[in-house]
């Protein structure tokens, strides 16, 4: 895909080899005390303690204390849904690469070096594709729903995508800052669809997916309907944005 609205030139980009010092790993955290210690230790281990971690937290359990013990920045926020938390989380850091994850130990932090390498190869967004390896750890209903979402989004966008609702992605910071984000439960799909339809270089990358630690925060049926609505709304908005304006007489 061609580059769209980036501000840096190709030459400037080629000079820069990002390291883990350039990465912020961000997440919404809502009563994840069973998982957060492991998630944050994995990030520390794989990045040698260099990645910054930002948690936007709505918990009533020990999640924020554990996050602070690990040196994470914790932003407290009333729980208002996935997208409200993750939008605040992606907009907080100053570092040039923002990586999102869930705080439930489903996503492979050990694959962070691959995400960094792909950003260094010139991709603007690297999106973890859970379905490539089969996602056996995902509940069957969710797996089926995710396949339907990917098929629907592909048709609406005119580009084949494989996993629209993954929580693990890396973004160049100018991508997250240059787009206005509108969705809540459907934010994850929006974070793929809008950059892709605006011509950013988006690359899906296969990832392993593990069984969740702790309770899910998503109602599969209600959440699934909200995501489906977001996919249709966001894709159509982006299509309309692409249409040429009729020249004035």
Residue placing its CB nearer to ligand GTP in the complex, 104 or 163 = 104
Binder to Mg ion among 32, 102, 105, 129 (CB under 5 A)?
A: 102
Residues in CB range of 63: below 8 A, 6 or more apart: 29, 30, 31, 32, 33, 36, 55, 57, 103
DSSP letter assigned to residue 203: E
Is 27 a binder of ligand GTP (CB under 6 A)? yes
Which among ligand GTP, Mg ion, none contacts residue 29 (Cβ within 5 to 8 A by kind)?
A: ligand GTP
136-175 binders of ligand GTP (CB under 6 A) = 142, 167
By CB under 6 A, tell whether 106 contacts ligand GTP.
yes
The two three-digit tokens of residue 187, written as one number: 């934010």
Give which of 14, 8, 49 is closest to 177, Cα–Cα: 8
Segment interacting with Mg ion (CB under 5 A) among 16-24, 61-69, 95-103, 176-184: 95-103
Q: How far is the CB of 245 from ligand GTP (least distance, A)?
A: 38
Using a 10 angstrom Cβ sphere, with 0-12 exposed, 13-18 middle and 19 or more buried, the burial of residue 32 is buried
Nearer to ligand GTP, 118 or 218 (CB): 218
Bridge partner list, 127? 169, 204
Decide if residue 190 touches ligand GTP (CB under 6 A).
no
Q: Which positions touch Mg ion (CB under 5 A)?
A: 102, 104
């Amino acid at each position: 895909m061609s580059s769209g609205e980036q501000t840096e030139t190709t030459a400037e980009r080629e000079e820069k080899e990002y390291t883990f010092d350039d990465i912020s790993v961000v997440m919404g955290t809502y009563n994840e005390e069973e998982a957060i210690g492991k998630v944050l230790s994995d990030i520390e281990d794989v990045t040698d303690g260099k990645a910054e971690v930002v948690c936007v937290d709505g918990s009533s359990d020990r999640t924020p204390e554990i996050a602070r013990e690990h040196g994470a920045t914790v932003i407290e926020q009333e729980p208002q849904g996935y997208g409200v938390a993750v939008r605040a989380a992606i907009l907080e850091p100053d570092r040039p690469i923002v990586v999102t994850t869930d705080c439930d130990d489903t996503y492979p932090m050990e694959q962070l070096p691959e995400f960094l390498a792909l950003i260094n190869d010139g991709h603007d967004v690297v999106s973890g594709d859970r379905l490539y390896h089969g996602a056996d750890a995902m509940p069957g209903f969710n797996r089926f729903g995710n396949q339907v979402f990917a098929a629907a989004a592909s048709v609406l966008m005119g580009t084949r995508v494989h996993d629209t609702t993954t929580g693990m992605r890396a973004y160049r910071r100018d991508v997250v800052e240059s787009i206005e984000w509108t969705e809540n439960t459907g934010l994850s799909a929006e974070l793929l669809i809008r950059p892709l339809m605006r011509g950013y270089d988006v690359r899906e990358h296969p990832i392993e997916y593990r069984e969740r630690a702790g309770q899910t925060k998503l109602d599969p049926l209600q959440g699934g309907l909200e995501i489906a609505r977001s996919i249709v709304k966001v894709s159509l908005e982006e299509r309309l944005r692409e249409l040429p304006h009729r020249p004035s007489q």
